[in-house]
Structure 1
Amino acid sequence: MTGKGRLGTWISVDGVEGTGKTTIATHLAQILPVEPAPEFSDSVFGSALRGAVAASPHYISSSPLGQSLVFLADFLEVHASSVAPRLDLGVSVVSDRGYLSKYSYQEVVLSNTLGPMPTRRLLDEIFAHLPSPSLTIHLTAPESCLYERLLSRDGHCDPARLAFIARAAAANKAHLARTHVLHAVTIDTNQRLDDVLREVTDVVRRRL
Structure 2
Amino acid sequence: MVKFFAESKCNAKEFDGTLRFLRGSYPKSVNYAMFNLISSHDKPRFLTLCYGDVRKMKLAVVFLMTYVGAPVIYYGDEIGMEGLGDPDCRRPFIWDEDRQDRALLKFYRQMIKLRRENPVLKRGNFYPLYTYDNVYCYARNSAENMIVVVLNNSNKDEVVRLNIDKLRSRKGNIKDLVDGNSFAIDRGILELKIPDYGYRVLSL
Q: Same fold (TM over 0.5)?
A: no
Q: State the TM-score, normalized to the length of structure 1.
A: 0.29
Q: State the TM-score, normalized to the length of structure 2.
A: 0.30
The structure with higher relative contact order (CA 8 Å, sep 6+) is: 1
Larger strand proportion of the pair: 2
